[in-house]
Structure 1
Amino acid sequence: MTTLPPLPMTHPKLTSLARQKLPCFPSTIPRSQLIKEKDDIDHYLEVNFKGLSKEEVAAYRNSCKKNICVDMLRDGYHKSFTELFALMEKWDALQEAARVRSLFWLQRPLEEQPDKLGHFYHHLTRAEAAERKEYFEDVYNNLYALACYFSNSEDKWVRNHFYERCFKIAQRIKIDGGKKEAEAHAHMGLLFEEEGQLLEAAEHYEAFHQLTQGRIWKDETGRFLNLLACESLLRTYRLLSDKMLENKEYKQAIRILIKASEIAKEGSDKKMEGEASYYLGLAHLAAEEYETALTVLNTYSKISIDLEDDLSLGRAYEAIAKVLQSQGKMPEAIKYLKKVVEIARNNFQSLDVVRASTMLGDIYNEKGYYNKASEYFQQAFDTTAELRNMRHVDETKVHYGIAKAHQIMLTINNYIESEDLTSLDYLLSWKENRSSIAPHPIIGGSRKPTMESLYQIPENSEELNGFPDNRKNET
């Protein structure tokens, strides 16, 4: 967790001489070329460096990899040599496995990367020397420096190796009150989280959280370690709850999310507390505990209002609308969804507009308000067309087409039930052209309402009076 200042790299004489001919020769150079280069080097050394020893000549001829290994053994760093040799063997094994599976291996052979070899030599030997003197904090710092150096995506397995070593060493450090141990638990939690082992990750994050409680330790960016522990635990608990919900283990998911909510409150971060309430509310919704879900989600919406976070507020309103829709309270659900559309448009969140508009269209379509359904489905379709997101375009196009078909179906039914020559002419004309059919005119009080008259209702009448069971049979 702590960024160390760059240390001056020291190299023994053999390594320094070897680095003068970097980069190291690849193993694919033809033998004839190697012989010629050897003769050239011999001649150059004989003319210019008559005083060099055999070891110095060997250092100039050998690869960087071999020189570093020789230096480690010669200087008595046998543990460092053993560890480096094991890492190099694994490196080669991974490269060979990728070749067998016909995969593209991004990494060059280690002997062709002298900078990495140099870091291995520098920090491993310093760590071994510190361990002999039982300076375990220096051991940790050098191993952690290697973990940070190999943090890029293709070298993560090297990083993980040193995270594990840091964890073992950190438990032997007693002079810092447990800070290094807490950081090591955080690193191990990240390691297991990336590998998908969430239970193991949660165990390490819980230890990280416990060690940082009541402490004012900060990381290199100035953030409190306890807050980072809370965030890490919340993230892991949420991932665990997602798996539980997929398996319909609702009680377990709610239990772990309640625990996450308590930890979020402890972190004194309102945004984090709101996030925890959001996921807990969704879990109660999945378990069909609607009243509890509404209570929790209303807490999330209040926090979002206090923080003036429109995006979170839109997400809260959408979740509340889902709960109300599940309860059959469609007018209330519509109110919240319209707020979601407004917030999303004001914040240029096009996908949120699409999602909320589609939900509105579904509600109106289900209740027989086909004009309104068509209006919202068209809004969703037009938005996806602007985004040029083909997957969403196809989906919204289907919804829009269904709503339009319902409109035409109801109009045609009205003409058929009219049983007069004018209606028959309209039907025959539509059948020949397959174009838009004119709305049915209202003739007399007993005639069924047309589509246009059916939907010429006040904007909020649905919210005030509720939906009828079947608008098509209304007279």
Structure 2
Amino acid sequence: ITQICLWEMHLREPLCKMTTLPPLPVIRPKLTSLARKKLPCSPSTIPRSQLIKEKDDIDHYLEVNFKGLSKEEVAAYRNSYKKNICVDMLRDGYHKSFTELFALMKKWDALQETARVRSLSWLQRPLEEQPDKLDHFYHYLTRAEAAERKEYFEDVYNNLYALACYFNNSEDKWVRNHFYERCFKIAQLIKIDGGKKEAEAHAHMGLLFEEEGQLLEAAEHYEAFHQLTEGRIWKDETGRFLSLLACESLLRTYKLLSDKMLENKEYKQAIRILIKASEIAKEGSDKKMEGEASYYLGLAHLAAGEYETALTVFNTYSKISTDLDDDLSLGRAYEAIAKVLQSQGEMTEAIKYLKKVVKIARKNFQSLDVVRASTMLGAIYNEKGYYNKASEYFQQAFDTTAELTNLRQMDETKVHYGIAKAHQIMPRVNNYIESADLTSLDFLLSWKESRSKIACEPTIGNTANIGTFLPF
């Protein structure tokens, strides 16, 4: 009894994120308790002749070992566990619970059949072979129905939400979503908590739609979640304010929506929704979240070609990152600023910021950031004709990808490095060709044979400081 009371108190706590439930303190009804002793249940595909033989064996066993058993008790041994659960629900008067469970079982079977027809890898076992799940269905559905009869809607919500938590896994997510929807409908009837359960239900529905890729619907629920929690001090089970979680959920959804808009070159719509996200982030009083919103907004302005505005927003992001002493965010801010400066043709300033990015990335062992910034530096130097510097940074990028054993990036940086080395050696080759003497021709032929090094001829121009290797 103590365990059950503690469990009820746990269900009444603010619930916003999925949690791992403790073992279920189930008090099983008569048929279920008897049927549980003979698990696992017999498969439904057993031949009729075998079933008849098993029935006769059971009758004989019961006659010899158990005198005076009732028909119900005999049925508990004969029937499947799933059937006994359903019979118990009907016998105890929980007709709505039976109807809901029966509908879920039909959908369960339909999904399995669809997977079988399409030769999909359906890893889930039949419900008949999972008595623990059937126990949870019986326990919480009947408790929810009993509470609903008394109009204790908060208890109804808690029991349905407990089922949603229990089925929060990859194979049962559709069951979880069913109970999310049930919780949402019940939450509208709860009037004694100031709207807290309704706010939580909107958060769950937002997550449901977000996972299904229906971002507009998700945004609507998250907006309702945000409005209901605004100015409230409600917390979830981890102690986090629900208002902050609402801001984070909205920011995440607005970011996903803006990404799709930017892909379709709908720059004004993307900027508009990210401005809204930035305002919401400021309400959350979380500087890191505010910085993230500024970063996304700056990228949208950059994509739209609004360079001055983008630069202003990115500078705000870099200031927030500096105040938070967040090196990784600061490196990202500097890289974004460098992209804007590069788009404006201010290469010298862009180089300064990219060198800062490389320094920060190396300090924090962010190899991918090193590759990206080094590649950008190499491209700028290559474009300006500083081939020695270009080769240096492209080689730095290539060496880093080699350490990471990232084959795709290795191939990409190898091409950049090869092009830079070709540009680097080209002036010397041109000088040899233009000299048109026997010595120069010998140097060229020697290089053609080895393809590794080209000799340096002191008498030819200012080519001594140019690189000597080709990467092919």
| TM-score, with length taken from structure 2 | 0.91
**How big is each residue's C-alpha offset from its partner over 1:62-114, in whole Å with a ceiling of 9 and x where there is no partner?**
10110111111112211111111111111111111111111110100111111
After superposition, the Cα gap between the structure-2 partners of 1:444 and 1:99, relative to the gap in structure 1 and judged at 3 Å, is closer
Alpha-carbon distance in 1 for matches of 2:450, 2:250: 64
Cα shift at 1:44: 2.2
2:332 alignment counterpart:
315
Tell me what 2:435 maps to. Answer: 418
Deviation at 1:408, TM superposition (A): 2.2
Comparing 392-401 with 267-276, which one deviates more in the overlay?
A: 392-401
Shift of residue 211 of structure 1? 0.1
The separation in 1 between residues aligned to 2:170 and 2:462, in whole angstroms, is 74
Farther off after superposition, 150-159 or 383-392: 383-392
Counterpart among 342, 357, 363 of residue 380 in structure 2: 363
Q: Report whether the alignment pairs 1:403 with 2:394.
A: no
In the aligned structure 2, how far is the partner of 1:431 from the partner of 1:44?
A: 94
Identity across aligned pairs (percent)? 91
The Cα of 1:367 is off from its aligned counterpart by 1.5
Q: How has the CA–CA distance of structure 1 residues 334 and 39 changed in structure 2, closer, same or farther, with 3 Å as cutoff?
A: same
Q: Is this contact kept in 2: 1:411–1:440, CA < 8 A?
A: no
Q: Secondary structure at the match of 1:254?
A: helix
**Deviating more after overlay: 429-438 vs 338-347:** 429-438
Segment of structure 1 superposing worse, 167-176 or 434-443: 434-443
Farther-moved stretch of structure 1 (264-273 vs 17-26): 17-26
Give 1:441 deviation, angstroms: 3.3
What is the Cα deviation at residue 369 of structure 1? 1.3
TM-score by length of 1: 0.90
Alpha-carbon distance in 1 for matches of 2:142, 2:185? 18
Structure 2: tracts of 5 or more residues without a match: 1-17, 464-472
CA distance in 2, matches of 1:172, 1:2: 24
Aligned CA distance change for structure 1 residues 13 and 387 (closer, same or farther; 3 Å):
same
How far has the Cα of 1:443 moved from its partner?
A: 5.5
* Aligned counterparts of 2:241 and 2:277: Cα–Cα separation in 1: 18
Q: CA deviation at 1:418?
A: 3.4
Q: Following TM superposition, by how much is the alpha carbon of 1:420 offset from its aligned partner in structure 2, in angstroms?
A: 4.3
Deviates more, 1:314-323 or 1:435-444: 435-444
- Shift of the alpha carbon at 1:127? 0.8
- Cα offsets for 1:191-250 (capped at 9, x unmatched): 000000000000000000000001000001110000000000000000000000000011
Q: Deviations over 1:313-363 (max 9, x none)?
A: 111111111111111111111111111111111111111111111111111
Structure 1: tracts of 5 or more residues without a match: 447-475
8 Å CA contact 1:24–1:114 kept in 2: the answer is: no
Change (3 A) 1:51 1:362: same
CA distance in 2, matches of 1:2, 1:88: 24
Deviation at 1:33, TM superposition (A): 4.5
> CA 1:23–1:401 in structure 2 vs 1: closer, same or farther (change >3 Å)?
same
Q: Which segment is superposed worse, 24-33 or 267-276?
A: 24-33
**Contact in 1 for aligned 2:202/2:221 (Cα 8 Å):** yes
Count of residues paired in the alignment: 446
Preserved contact between residue 414 and residue 440 of structure 1 (Cα < 8 Å): no
* Distance change (3 Å), C-alpha of 1:442 and 1:197: farther
Which residue number in structure 2 is paired with residue 455 of structure 1? Answer: none
Displacement of 1:373 in angstroms is: 1.1
Q: Is the 8 A contact 2:19 2:165 kept in 1?
A: no
Partners in 2 of 1:445 and 1:59 — Cα distance? 98
Matched residue SS, 1:21: coil
Could you list the per-position Cα deviations for residues 33-52 of structure 1 after superposition, in whole angstroms to 9, with x for gaps in the alignment? 54443333222211222121
Describe the shift of the 1:55–1:6 C-alpha distance in structure 2 as closer, same or farther (beyond 3 A).
Answer: same
Partner Cα separation in structure 1 for residue 459 and residue 352 of structure 2: 31
Cα deviation code 1:241-290 (max 9, x no counterpart): 00000000111101110111111111010110110011111111001111
CA distance in 2, matches of 1:157, 1:61: 31
* CA–CA separation in structure 1 for the residues paired with 2:257 and 2:37: 53
Contact persistence 2:167–2:176 (CA under 8 A): yes
- CA 1:2–1:396 in structure 2 vs 1: closer, same or farther (change >3 Å)? closer
Partners of 2:345 and 2:351 in 1: CA distance? 11
Inter-CA distance 38–78: structure 2 relative to 1 (3 Å threshold): same
In structure 2, what is the equivalent of residue 53 of structure 1? 70
The answer to whether the Cα contact below 8 Å between 2:96 and 2:145 also exists between their aligned partners in 1 is yes
Q: Aligned in 2, Cα 1:37/1:412: closer, same or farther, shift over 3 Å?
A: same
The worse-fitting range, judged by mean Cα deviation, of 197-206 and 74-83 is: 74-83
Q: Relative to structure 1, is the Cα distance of residues 444 and 195 closer, same or farther in structure 2, using a 3 angstrom cutoff?
A: closer
Which residue of the other structure, out of 235, 256, 279, is the alignment partner of 1:218? 235
In 2, the alpha carbon distance for the partners of 1:35 and 1:440 equals 101
Higher mean alpha-carbon deviation, 309-318 vs 226-235, is at 309-318
Is the Cα–Cα contact under 8 Å of residues 271 and 297 in structure 2 kept in the other structure? yes
CA shift, 1:404, in A, is 1.4
After TM superposition, give the deviation of residue 131 of structure 1 in Å: 0.8
Q: For residues 244-255 of structure 1, what are the structure 2 equivalents within 5 Å?
A: 244-255=261-272
In structure 2, C-alpha distance between the alignment counterparts of 1:431 and 1:179, rounded to whole Å: 78
Q: 2:406 aligns with which of 377, 385, 389?
A: 389
Q: Compute the displacement of 1:364 (Å).
A: 1.1
Q: CA–CA distance in 1 between the matches of 2:145 and 2:267?
A: 50
Contact 1:4-1:141 within 8 A present in 2 as well:
no
Closer, same or farther in 2 for the Cα pair 1:439/1:324, shift >3 Å? farther
Q: Does 1:435 align with 2:462?
A: no
Kindly indicate whether the alpha-carbon contact (under 8 Å) linking 1:139 and 1:169 is maintained by their aligned counterparts in 2.
Answer: yes
Task: Give the equivalent residue in structure 2 for 1:37.
Answer: 54
Q: Which whole-Å CA distance do the structure 2 matches of 1:420 and 1:346 have between them? A: 51
Q: CA deviation at 1:26?
A: 2.1
Structure 2: distance between partners of 1:175 and 1:249: 44
Q: 1:130 to 1:7 in 2, by over 3 A?
A: farther
On the 8 A contact 1:294/1:323 being kept in 2, the answer is yes
Q: CA RMSD in A?
A: 1.8
Task: Assess if the C-alpha contact under 8 Å between 2:431 and 2:461 holds in 1.
Answer: no
Distance 1:100 1:125 in 2: 34
- Paired residue for 2:182? 165
Residue 372 (structure 1) aligns with = 389
In the alignment, is the contact (CA less than 8 A) between 1:264 and 1:273 conserved in 2? yes
Contact kept in structure 1, 2:89 and 2:142, CA below 8 Å: yes
- What is residue 163 of structure 2 aligned with on the other side? 146
Change in 2 beyond 3 A, CA 1:129/1:93: same
Kindly indicate whether the alpha-carbon contact (under 8 Å) linking 2:431 and 2:460 is maintained by their aligned counterparts in 1: no
Contact kept, 8 Å, 2:21 with 2:166, in 1: the verdict is: no
C-alpha contact 1:257 1:276 (8 A) present in aligned 2 = yes
**1:154 alignment partner, SS class:** coil
**Contact 1:318–1:340 (8 Å) recurs in 2:** yes
Which stretch of the first structure deviates more once superposed, 69-78 or 154-163? 69-78
Change in CA separation of 1:445 and 1:409 when aligned onto 2, cut-off 3 Å = closer
Change (3 A) 1:317 1:55: same
Residues 222 and 249, structure 2, Cα contact 8 Å, conserved in 1: yes
Task: Please state how far the C-alpha of 1:421 moved relative to its aligned partner.
Answer: 4.2
| SS of corresponding position for 1:425 | helix
